[in-house]
Structure 1
Amino acid sequence: MGIKLLFICTGNTCRSPMAEGLAKTILGPEVEVSSAGMAAGEGQPASDQALSVLKVRGIDLSSHHARQINPLLLQAADWIIPMTKEHEIRLCALYPQYTGKIRRLGAWGTKGKDILDPFGGSLKVYQKCAEEIEGLIFELKKELDSLAGKD
Structure 2
Amino acid sequence: MKLLFICTGNTCRSPMAEALAKVILGPEFDVGSAGMSAWEGAPASDYAIKVMEDRGIDLASHCARQVTEELLREADWVIPMTEGHEIRLCAQYPEYVKKIRRLGNWGLSGQDILDPYGGSLQIYQSSADEIEKMIYDLKNKLDNLA
Q: Above 0.5 in TM-score?
A: yes
Give the unaligned 5+ runs of structure 2. none
Structure 2 partner of 1:108: 106
The two structures have a TM-score, normalised by structure 2, of: 1.00
TM-score normalised by the chain length of structure 1: 0.96
* SS of corresponding position for 1:53: helix
**Using the alignment, how far apart are the partners of 1:111 and 1:138 within structure 2?**
12
Q: For residues 91-131 of structure 1, what are the alpha-carbon distances to aligned partners after superposition, in whole Å with 9 as ceiling and x for unaligned?
A: 00000000000000000011100000000000000000000
In structure 1, the residue matched to 2:145 is: 147
Over aligned residues, Cα RMSD in angstroms?
0.3
The correspondence for 2:128, drawn from 104, 107, 130, is 130
In the TM superposition, what whole-angstrom CA distance separates every residue of 1:61-90 from its partner, at most 9, and x where no partner exists?
A: 111000000010000000000000000000
Displacement over 4 Å in runs of 4+: none
Percent of aligned positions that are identical = 68
1:98 to 96, 110, 128: 96
Matching residue within 69, 72, 77 for 1:71: 69
Name 2:84's counterpart in structure 1: 86
> How many Å apart are 1:137 and its aligned residue?
0.1
1:78 and 1:121 map into 2 onto residues whose CA distance is 32
Partners of 1:59 and 1:77 in 2: CA distance: 23
> Equivalent residue of 2:32, what SS?
strand
Distance 1:4 1:111 in 2: 23
For residue 58 of structure 1, the aligned residue among 33, 37, 56 is: 56
Of the three residues 33, 46, 60, the one matched with 1:48 is 46
Residue ranges of structure 1 left out of the alignment (5+ in a row)? none
